[in-house]
Amino acid sequence: MELVRRVESIIGDVIIETIRPSDIQRLAKKMLPTAKNSTRNRNVIGPARAVINCAADSEWRAHIKIKNFQEEEVVKLHPSEGAAELLMA
């Protein structure tokens, strides 16, 4: 809920019917200019999408599709078998 309030504090009194996907993308970049795309998706795109979907389900506006930012692939490093044994000792 805190994330929704942060998005709301920036958007203000904008009529929800007038919000476009590009507005949400710009908002994410404005709120988190140095963040990774994964953070923008979690902290801005997701909460904004939830509010807009709720409004659409309540028939206050039409459904729109808000795409996530492209995220970097996470590289997971696994310790070698010997290292794992040493760490667990």
User: Residue 59, SS3?
Assistant: coil
Q: Which of 65, 45, 66, 53 is nearest to 16 (CA)?
A: 53
The DSSP symbol for 18 reads G
Give me the pLDDT at residue 74, please. 83
Structural domain span for residue 12:
2-88
**What's the domain count of the chain?**
1
**How many Cα atoms within 13 Å fall on the side-chain side of residue 83?**
4
From the list 59, 64, 58, 74, the residue with the least C-alpha distance to 23 is 64
pLDDT tens sequence across 49-81: 998 998 899 999 999 999 999 998 888 887 777
